Structure 1
């Protein structure tokens, strides 16, 4: 009813109202929700206590044993308007891992797996796995992109996450509230500012294709691994023979 009245009046105020209402309807149609972020930022929600809690939460994320991209998504979840079901959140969750990988080695996670998984290489091309360094490589190990990173690449990835957490702490200390949209935009801006190329699009290889490829290479590698692998029992028998 209010919108209908606004469209029947033709003064300047009504024109402004129509523009505002049109944007609200557009945002709701695209996002599924609408929030006046600017008004929230200027309101009483963002007290000193709020920012103290933010700092504590960010520092807990820093100290956690979570994976690098999980720390970034945990940081995103501290947004004052966080909604796990929003389109902004779904898009961020779908792309954050690949954006971080691409910043380090110019490949998505799936592309990295297909490029480096090789049954003929030592450890199938892996640099880390669950039972490393002496235990067997399992099928689940070969479908994790991080397991193919070099020590230098892993260090760079950790540095990026550390700097991003530093930035988050600084925002909280400066009492600057962050929305979901802010965190999504800041990630690209932060990576670009540090001289990294930004991933455009989903990449050339799907996650499912990379998984199937890695598993097929593993089936070939499994035969080689079984021939070369020495269990603790094998080592025990060998030590008896050498006595």
Structure 2
């Protein structure tokens, strides 16, 4: 988000809601489209609220609206209406969305402090300087990204960890829940053409060695457990795992590059970037929830394990069994007159 007239809503680690405002010419100017993105609604909803604000006399249209020439994606310039901070605040108190609620929490707290004290101090900005997203912010962000890269977390967990570094990250936001619920399936679909549940359902087979698993907790000689058969990653072959690791590594490269360049990244940015990255690499994009539910996959895998376990128990050779066989082999290899 390089445009200096952007507003970012985000929640601090302590749970406090903050609003970061980038001011130009002593105010902020946003188009209706930008307002819709800010508050997480469609443009017609913003247009309706603005009309009501002007119709009721809450704000004078000529005082809060300006016409600017804006270059669109097609390269052409268009005369576009933009709305200042007064209009943004008025809309924020009317919109019904998670982002608007976060905005109102911040605005109410700020107004209360101003009424009771007569002034408002932004402690974080005083520590950082002119903007909260200063060099200290990006230095810390870079350090945390590199920590995620070095961690032993699963591939999809690294991507969700990265998402949690978004400037406006809110763990209870609907878009956060959606991202966390779909990221694993998107990655599995890109590599295998199956969701995690579909992969488990199709691969769990009691007639195959290790029940079709490529890896499990006690691999290669230990028993397959119930906790192993319901993890989709365990059914991927080595080439598929390496491919997933490359995807995650490239995604982390993108994050590191943006942090080094001082670009603020939001939750919406990370969600869009994942799809764009997969599209750019010619991977298929998951468009639905798949044909197999997580419960169906779990029941199928556990049923196959119940069958497989009988053969596993019969064929299983423990470390103790292997040691006994080794000692027996040594004894059998000795000459009759040699001491045991």
**TM-score, structure 2 as length reference:** 0.64
Deviation at 1:46? Answer: 1.2
From 95, 103, 111, the equivalent of 2:198 is 111
- For 2:93 and 2:292, locate their aligned partners in 1 and report how far apart those are by CA, in whole Å: 36
Counterparts in 2 of 1:72 and 1:170: CA distance versus 1, 3 Å: same
Which structure has the greater CA radius of gyration?
2
- For 1:23 and 1:104, locate their aligned partners in 2 and report how far apart those are by CA, in whole Å: 43
Q: Indicate the structure with greater helix content.
A: 1
Q: Corresponding residue for 2:302?
A: 215
Deviation at 1:67? Answer: 0.7
Q: Corresponding residue for 1:224?
A: 311
Deviation at 1:84? Answer: 0.3
Q: Secondary structure at the match of 1:197?
A: coil
Q: Secondary structure at the match of 1:118?
A: coil
Q: Corresponding residue for 2:279?
A: 192
Question: How many residues are aligned here?
Answer: 235
Deviation at 1:8? Answer: 2.1
Task: Check if 1:152 corresponds to 2:264.
Answer: no
Q: Secondary structure at the match of 1:199?
A: coil
- For 2:275 and 2:255, locate their aligned partners in 1 and report how far apart those are by CA, in whole Å: 14
Counterparts in 2 of 1:74 and 1:118: CA distance versus 1, 3 Å: same
- For 1:7 and 1:27, locate their aligned partners in 2 and report how far apart those are by CA, in whole Å: 17
Task: Check if 1:138 corresponds to 2:225.
Answer: yes
- For 2:95 and 2:257, locate their aligned partners in 1 and report how far apart those are by CA, in whole Å: 30
- For 2:191 and 2:313, locate their aligned partners in 1 and report how far apart those are by CA, in whole Å: 33
Deviation at 1:12? Answer: 3.9
Deviation at 1:21? Answer: 7.0
Conservation of the 8 A alpha-carbon contact between 1:27 and 1:34: no
Q: Corresponding residue for 2:55?
A: 7
Conservation of the 8 A alpha-carbon contact between 1:110 and 1:207: yes
Task: Check if 1:76 corresponds to 2:163.
Answer: yes
Conservation of the 8 A alpha-carbon contact between 1:31 and 1:87: no
Unpaired segments of 5 or more residues in structure 1? 36-42
Q: Secondary structure at the match of 1:175?
A: coil
**Once the two structures are superposed, what CA deviation does each residue of 1:83-116 show, in whole Å capped at 9, x if it has no partner?**
0001110111110110111111111000000111
Unpaired segments of 5 or more residues in structure 2? 1-50, 66-82, 104-129, 332-340
Deviation at 1:29? Answer: 2.4
Deviation at 1:226? Answer: 0.8
Deviation at 1:236? Answer: 2.7
Task: Check if 1:181 corresponds to 2:268.
Answer: yes
Deviation at 1:20? Answer: 5.4
Q: What RMSD over aligned residues (CA atoms) do the two structures have, in Å?
A: 2.5
Deviation at 1:6? Answer: 3.6
**TM-score, structure 1 as length reference:** 0.88
Deviation at 1:225? Answer: 0.6
Q: Corresponding residue for 1:29?
A: 97
- For 1:26 and 1:185, locate their aligned partners in 2 and report how far apart those are by CA, in whole Å: 27
Counterparts in 2 of 1:191 and 1:205: CA distance versus 1, 3 Å: same
Task: Check if 1:161 corresponds to 2:248.
Answer: yes
Q: Corresponding residue for 1:172?
A: 259
Q: Corresponding residue for 1:40?
A: none
From 222, 225, 233, the equivalent of 2:320 is 233
Larger RCO (alpha carbons 8 Å, 6+ apart): 1
Conservation of the 8 A alpha-carbon contact between 1:32 and 1:86: no
